[in-house]
Every structure is written in C-alpha cells, then in structure tokens.
A and B are shown apart, each in its own frame.
Chain A
Amino acid sequence: MTAPTHSAEAESPSEPTHGDGPRPQSAGEKILRRTGRAIIVAFWVMVVAFMLIRLSPGDPVTAALGGEAAPETVAALRKTLGLDVDPFTQFWQYFTGLFHGDLGQSLISGVPVTEMLRTNLPVTLWLILTTVTLTLVISIPLAMVIALARIPGLPYIFRTLTAIGLALPSFLVALLLLYQFGLVWGIAPIFGYDPTFPANMQYLWLPALVNCVVLVPVLSRVLYSSILDTLDEEFVETGVIRGVRSIRFYWFYVLRPSLAPTVVLLSYVMGVMVGSTVILEMIFALPGIGRELVTAVTMRDYPVVQGIILVFGVLVVFLSLLGDIIASILDPRVKLS
C-alpha cells in the first residue's frame, strides 16, 4: 500500500532549514515530544490538585470541623493536613511525598490514600477499557455502513439520532437500563463486583454500554464525516482504479486513514467519559475511585479528595497521550501538537 503522505507537505510550508525550522520529524521524535508535553501537563495537573484545596474559597479545616470547634482540634487537624507550614514548604512536602508514593492518609479511616487507590483504581480502569472497546466496536461498523451504504435518508436519520443521543443524561439512562436489565429481566447484577478479569465483565458491560449512549454518537459522527473526506482522497481513487477490493480496500484505503481523527477525538472526550464513570460507579455500586471520591466529598475527607482528583487528572493526560500516539501510528500525517 502506498502510504498516504502527499498532503503532509501541503500542510507544513517548506522553509529553508535553519535552526528550528519545520523540518520533518521522525515518528519516534514526534512521540517523544508529545510525551514530554504530557509530562509537563501532568506536573501542572499536580499543581492544580494542590492549589484546589488551598486557594479555593472556603477553608477545609473549618469546613470539616464546623464553626465552633476547639482551637486545639483545629490546630491538630491543620497539622495532620500539613497546613501549619508556609505554602512553599507544603508544596515541597506534597511533591516529594508523591515520589515516595505518599498521598497522605484518610482523615476518616486512617488508611493511606495509595492503599485505597490500589484496590479502587483497577475497577475504574477496567470500566474505561470496557467502555472504549465497546464504543469502538459499535461506532466503526455503524459509521462504515452509514457512509458506504447508499441508502437515501439514512445519514439524515443518523444525524438526528446522534443529536438526541448526545443530549441524554447518562445517569438517567443508567437508572432505566439498570432497572430494565437488572430488575425486570434479571440479566445484569444490580450491585457487587468481582476483581478478576473474565468475571468482572459481568458487572461492567452494562455501565460501559450506558457510557456508549453518549460516546457512540460523538465518535461515529466524526468517523462518518472522516470516511466521507477520505473517500475524496486521491489514494482511494487510485485504489479503485487498481481494482483493490474487499477487506484490504476497506481497511487500508478507507478505514485506517479515517480512524486517526476519531482516535484523537476519543482522547478529547476522554475527560467527559472519565467524568461520567463517577456517576456510573455510584449508580452501579462499583467500588472504583469515582465512588470513593463522592464518599470522600460527603465525609469531607480532603487528603482522599486531593489524591483521587490528582489520579483522575493524570489519567486523562496519559489516556490522551496514548490516543495521540495511536492516531499517529494509524496515520503518519497526524500532527502531534
């Protein structure tokens, strides 16, 4: 297959190479740069997670203890939270603590936050993995069929349905599906979790399916218009002329070049998707970090809140990185910003 590289030159203006001019980057270099950027963003994610508790309106100590707590109790909690020293020392303690795997400990149970993450994070990661897999499995054939089957009116129905799907609240969908599948038909467990691999799918398929209600419209839409754009490309024409047929044609000429924008978008909507796992974990009673976050918020357990939002932020940063790298492997024309 001839790699579709012809438009790469068209996008970057060719300047005489001096110093930092836009010279062509090797794939490895591109990925390395993008990884470097992700690490920098991850650092700022850490800073935001740190500042959140300290700079936002409302004092965590008075919020936790209430207005009329004894001064000694207040001072003791300040010390436990590490709020009794100046902000720079606080940041240094927090920063060095991170590299020792120390995120503080729960104010309620005294369990180290890292310990809680060890049991809860895998659940959330499995949910995300299942969601992404299911979304791709549904979106790709759907977009292919709608773009390639020439059924009049079908794209119109597709657009209308996706516009509706985009606007549905996932918690309502979750509630109704859980009711229907769990209570009426009894084919999905209404609570509980099994941490081992094949067994956990029994608990994860329904929450993942709910997430798909919002994700499939977004993704299949982009993939659909991306396939239409790809069909306009000259290499597809070449493929047709050369008589390339069947699976080879669909994968190399149509789908693979169209997938890159979809994967990039997937990493964009990752934030929304990871956010909605919080609500889904609450409804399906999955012991992930999202449910832990809501519990910690209602208990005003600040070290846990800080630790979990840090994990959420870093998770999104690296999932986006992964998405961009996959996109650049699928289509070398993709620029990693």
Chain B
Amino acid sequence: MTLISAGTADWFDVEGTVPSPKRARRLKDGTLGLIVGLSMLILLLLLGILVPLLSPYSIDESIDIPFLPPNGTFWFGTDGLGRDVFVRVFSAVYLDLGVAFLGVLIPFAIGTVVGIGLAVSRSKVLNGVVGSIIDGINAFPLLVLAIALIALLGPGLQSVVIALSLTNWARYARLARTRAQVVKQQGYIEAAQTLGYSKPRILFKHLVPNVSSETTAYALSDLILVILLIAGLSFLGLGAQPPTAEWGAMISDGRATLQMAWWPVIFPGLALCWAGVSLSFIAEGLTRRERDVKS
C-alpha cells in the first residue's frame, strides 16, 4: 500500500489510504445527503397536506377547459377533463406514499417473524419446505408475481397491497433468517443463555432488535422500489383506477395526449421522481454515515 501512495503510481486514486481529511469530508457527504433527502421529503409531505387544504379547486372538480397550459391560476395547468393538475398531484402524496408504506410494512413484519422463526426452529423439514418456497418466490420478478396475483384479485390499490404482502415477505424472510442465524452465534446471546434468561426475553430483547436493524436498512431502499412498483402497476391500469388522483394513473391518463399537452404527464412524473430521489438520498446518506462509523 505504502508503495503505491509513495508515488510509484500516482495515476490512480486509492480511496481509504489517505487517512484523515478525506474521511472527515465523507462524513459530511453522508450528512449532506441525509439533510437534502429529508428536507425534500418533508417539503413534499407538507405540500401534500397544504395544497389540498388551501386550493380553491378539488381533485374531481372540472373547470370545463381541458388542456389549459400552466398559468397564474392553474400552476400545473389542467388535464384532459379540465381538472386542476396542481391539486391532483399533491393530493396523491399521501395515497402513493401511504400505500407504499403499507406495502413495505406488512411484508417486513411477516418476513421478519417467518425468518426469525425459521432460524430458531430446530425442524429441518420446516426449514427445508418454507426455505424452498421462499427461494421459489424470490426467484420471480416482484412485478410479475404482483401482476399475476392482481389477475385473481382484480385491479385496485387494495389488491396491490395484498399482492405485495403475499410476495415481498419472502425477501425479508430470507434476509431475517440469514441475519438471525449469525446473531444466534454471537457472544451476547450465549451470555444471556448462561445467565439463565428466559427464551422469550432472549428472543425479543436480543435477537429481534439485532435482526431488524439489518432488515430496516433494506426496507428503506425497498420503499423506493415499492413506490415505483405501485405507480408502475397503476400505470398499467392494474392499481389505482382512473378517477383516483394517483401519480401512475395520472401519467397513464395523460399519456395518449402527451403530444398535445405535456403537463398532465410531467408534473405527476416529477412528483414521483421527487419522492423517489428524496428517499434515495436519505438511504445513501444513512449508509455512508454508517460506513464511516464502522470503519
């Protein structure tokens, strides 16, 4: 290492070999990303409350002038049915993020319970069968399984949440199982056992918190995927149905007339990207900070 940084080959950058100044800056990088991401998210959440409250127009109200370009009164213009795009875009904030949150929370809970259950159970048959089903489900693209389940459940946001709960848990279960198997071997679990702590106490006070810290980190990046998935399903006509103000459905709605009017597509699209990018920055900031603490 020293050989390289001593100047034998100074034409490549070996990150980590330069100790203090760089590390200090990286810490700031992570924090900056976190702050930017959080502010973006808070701004979106605030507008999600304020715009529908303060706007003189409602989401379903038509002003009978379709495709009015963005102007002083209608900041985002009006869509094909003469509805105010501005109020529709921000009314969708809590719907999109809320459904995505549920679509992560339920699989997260199921997966963590199943994964830890498998790791602590001694039954080889149970581990073999459930483990194989987990592998089987995980082999499928999430979108494809969700689409297939919606075929049975019928389109709608409720079906999307059910479909996500039935499929996405397997990813969390695999993660939780692997993690729980590692945690089980740790010294502090052994110490707790030696001290004669009860099994439930070890399980809930030691095993569960240590496993879920890892799955929570995954859940954050999964939330981005799920937001995009829900909007994607609605775009395909399988999620939120037309009169609902939902980003994917709005984009799908304005798609046919994109050549004539860009605003009914671009503004919901920007909101969707804004939500995704804010979470991506938060996730990025958190991982970079964690890496700095660890190293």
Contact = CB atoms under 8 A, between A and B. Distances in A.
Interface of A: 40-42, 44-45, 47-48, 52-53, 56-58, 60, 63, 147-150, 155-156, 159-160, 163-164, 166-172, 175-176, 179, 183, 228, 231-232, 236-237, 240-241, 271-272, 274-276, 278-279, 282, 290, 293-294, 296-298, 300, 302, 305-306, 309, 312-313, 316-317, 320
Contact of A56 (B1, B166, B228): B166
B148 A167 contact: no
Contacts, number: 187
A246 to B, nearest CB: 12
A236 B12 CA distance: 11
A275 B236 contact: no
A169 B279 contact: no
7 contacts: A40-B132, A150-B13, A171-B248, A228-B15, A228-B16, A278-B144, A279-B235
Contacts of A175: 251, 255, 258, 265, 269
B133 interface: yes
B253 interface: no
Contacts of A271: 138-142
A233 to B, nearest CB: 10
A135 to B, nearest CB: 16
Main SS of the interface on chain B? helix
Given A293-B147, A300-B151, A313 B4 contact: no
Contacts of A272: 141-142, 225
A279 B236 contact: yes
A276 B259 contact: no
Interface string B205-236: 00000000000000000001100100110011
Interface in B1-45: 1, 3-4, 8-17, 29, 33
Contacts of A294: 147, 236, 238
A30 to B, nearest CB: 19
Contacts of B251: 171-172, 175
B36 to A, nearest CB: 9
A279 B132 CA distance: 29
Contacts of A163: 33, 277, 280-281, 283-284
A150 B13 CA distance: 6
B259 A164 contact: no
Interface string B139-157: 1111111011111111000
Contacts of B147: 278, 293-294, 297
Nearest to A254: B12
A52 B151 CA distance: 11
Contacts of A44: 132-133, 135-136, 139
Contacts of A282: 236
A219 to B, nearest CB: 16
A169 B269 contact: yes
Contacts of B224: 166-167
B239 interface: no
B272 interface: yes
Contact of B143 (A45, A166, A276, A317): A276
